[in-house]
Amino acid sequence: MIYDDDRFHPTINNDIDTITDKKSNNDVNNGYNKVIKTYIDTCGKKQKYVLEYYSSYKLNGPIINAVTGIKYLNLKNGTKSEDLFFKISINTGENNSINKILFYDTPEQYEVHQHTKLSNKTITQWYEKQKKIELSLQ
């Protein structure tokens, strides 16, 4: 089956066609945020989508997965633990205009969640860094 009208597969959990209402989670204490963003689709047209994400908001607080909201209680924001994740900084000008850090398990998780494509160089560098970390733990 081919999906010509939607560049995202409908069975992907974070596809914008299947947004769930998380208003009960929308508070500073769990890092949940929701903003409207845009991207350029494969036809060159500007498209809007709702980006729901969890940010790690406290220095020395737990690292929170941007997609799932899972808190890694033993891994702290602002420490070497950050090196285990692909992280980005986001400042949308919304949600109190606070610069937030988003942590992803892999660069590919980031690409799917943010509807974007990273360079091969960026992805390769991240995986090489992970190999070095793994070797240093042995």
Average pLDDT over residues 96-101: 71
The helix/strand count (H/E) of the chain reads as 2, 6
The model's confidence at residue 7, banded by pLDDT at 50, 70 and 90, is very low
In whole angstroms, give the CA distance from residue 137 to residue 94: 39
What percent of the chain clears pLDDT 90, i.e. is strictly above it?
41
The model's confidence at residue 68, banded by pLDDT at 50, 70 and 90, is very high
Pairing verdict, β 46-54 and 62-64: unpaired
Average pLDDT over residues 62-80: 93
**Contact, 36 vs 47, CB < 8 A?**
no
Give the model's pLDDT for residue 129. Answer: 95
* Residue 73 or residue 29, greater confidence: 73
Give the model's pLDDT for residue 20. Answer: 38
Give the model's pLDDT for residue 98. Answer: 67
**Contact, 59 vs 77, CB < 8 A?**
yes
**Contact, 101 vs 46, CB < 8 A?**
no
Is pLDDT above 50 for 18? no
Element (H, E) at 120: helix 120-137
Taking all residues of the chain, what is their mean pLDDT, rounded to a whole number? 79
CA quadruple 2, 46, 126, 59: dihedral positive or negative?
negative
- Domain ranges, ordered by start, for the chain: 16-137
